[in-house]
Copies of this chain bind each other. A is one copy, B any other.
Amino acid sequence: MVGGRVLPTDTTIQGARALRAEILGVGTELLLGQIANTNAQRISSALASIGVDVLWHTVVGDNLERIEAAVTTAHSRAEAVVMTGGLGPTPDDITAEAVANALRRPLDRDERLAATIRSIFEDLGRVMPEENLKQADLPRGATPIEPEGTAPGFYMEQAGSIVFALPGVPWEMEAMLVKTVLPVLQRRGGDSVTLSRHILVVGLGESHTHEKIKDLVAGQTNPTIAFLASGGQVRVRVTAKATSEQEALALIAPVEAGLRERLGASAVQGEGGPLGEILGQLLRARGSTVAAAESLTGGLLGAELSRAPGASDYFLGSLVCYSAESKREVAGLSEAVLGGPGPVSEQAARALAEAAARKYGADLGLSTTGVAGPDEHDGKPVGTIFVGAALGGRTEVRKVRGYGDRSNVRAIAVTAALDLGRRLLDQS
């Protein structure tokens, strides 16, 4: 991964130092690779937004000794520790016990919490197993966090470091993060703010992006500039530390402008969110609509266009035509295209984009066709991608080379189609 410079941790800006945080996941399912640690990602991004420096992620399994050791380490090096997982009612849910041991406190039953847990079961008309009451046992001095589902959380401060324990279920974690963790940390965050702006770069590739701006990257210390590539996109992140949001933005603005000048049309306007949402904002602003016709992406392009809340303002639908017959019967591709250049061709991408706009009555039609692999198809090698965009009588097609595995090739195709649509909208 090409990376930019990163600020040293202890950057002191006018006397203010950002809180240092560690995110500690508990769960053997993470260590067995059954799920990705998306909780750590979500919490990190939320803490960054309020100027807290996340310096470590740690994961341990449902093992008392190792959770305890991890809490001890985290508590000694970070001023905020956000734990997830291990708060359920079963015998291997031992986060509260481990925190109590690490901080040398007994467990006390919180009677109000016990009553809440009882009432959750009563409301569901179910008998509560007695073992569930262990969820009301918290380290002495902890502040309980009301359950969102059935598991309560808690937080407690000791020796200048605050430990939060949240459930592992993502939506329960999310609610407690927003309602409790962020407000509590914001109140003690001091004056330091870390702010990032992202420039989304599409259609240029990671090394070309780097070459175009590497002298700018080399000269920077605050803000810093870093790169992140995936699925055919590069995100350039500009991060400033300052004593206020305004000051941070003022540091970022000239650097961002310089980068955008170099990157030209490959740099997407706006704050670099998901490309599907950016395209959606462009469409919403014009009162326009979009539809798609997809082959190798199998529905991923439609899923991306419908991801944002309110997507029904602009997204009408997508014709997923995976088989040759469906390209003919459902999307109406002609025999001249299918029997001539074939389903993986510039002509097919063109016809699919136009069919999408026509069938749905959409202003913009997008399309994908290609070979996701692992085997070649229609005489074309794995990674061959054609995407199309049709807008008001004009249709553009682009050939893109996909790389990596099947899922990466599909992600690159989605990115390329969305980007082609964006460029066409920008030009019209």
Contacts and interface: CB of A to CB of B under 8 A. Distances in A.
Interface of A: 1-6, 8-9, 25, 27-38, 40-48, 54-63, 66, 85-86, 88-93, 150, 167-171, 174, 196, 207, 210, 217-218, 226, 228-230, 235, 237, 239, 291-292, 294, 297-307, 309, 311-312, 315-323, 325-326, 329-330, 359-361, 373-375, 377, 403-408
A10 to B, nearest CB: 10
28 contacts: A1-B169, A2-B88, A2-B89, A3-B27, A3-B92, A3-B93, A4-B90, A6-B28, A9-B66, A25-B57, A29-B226, A30-B40, A30-B44, A31-B57, A33-B46, A33-B54, A34-B228, A37-B41, A56-B59, A57-B59, A150-B207, A298-B303, A302-B322, A309-B375, A312-B322, A316-B326, A318-B318, A329-B359
A34 B235 contact: yes
A44 B54 contact: no
* Chain B CB within 10 Å, residue with most, of A5, A32, A167, A171: A32
A373 B291 CA distance: 21
Given A36-B36, A57-B58, A299-B305, 9 more contacts: A2-B93, A30-B41, A33-B42, A56-B60, A306-B322, A312-B322, A317-B320, A318-B318, A319-B320
A30 B57 contact: yes
A291 B45 CA distance: 38
Contacts of A32: 44-45, 48, 54, 196, 237, 239
Contact of A299 (B63, B218, B306, B407): B306
Contacts of A61: 6, 55
Nearest to A406: B309
What is the interface of chain A mostly: helix, strand, loop, or mixed? mixed
B2 A31 contact: no
A55 B31 contact: yes
Contacts of A25: 57
A5 B62 CA distance: 8
Nearest to A62: B6
A93 B315 CA distance: 41
B330 A322 contact: no
Contact of A302 (B55, B93, B229, B298): B298
B309 A330 contact: no
B57 A57 contact: yes
Given A40-B37, A45-B34, A302-B302, A326 B322 contact: no
A61 B224 CA distance: 14
Contacts of A5: 91-92
Nearest to A300: B303
A29 B224 CA distance: 13
A40 B38 CA distance: 11
Contact of A41 (B36, B301, B326, B408): B36
A346 to B, nearest CB: 21
Nearest to A32: B48
A310 to B, nearest CB: 8
A180 B222 CA distance: 40
Contacts of A207: 150
A311 B326 CA distance: 15
A169 B33 contact: no
A71 to B, nearest CB: 13
A298 B322 contact: no
B323 A299 contact: no
B59 A226 contact: no
A12 B210 CA distance: 51
Contacts of A29: 1, 3, 226, 228, 237
Nearest to A131: B214
B330 A319 contact: yes
B306 A317 contact: no
Contacts of A322: 302, 306, 311-312, 315-317
Nearest to A60: B56
Nearest to A312: B322
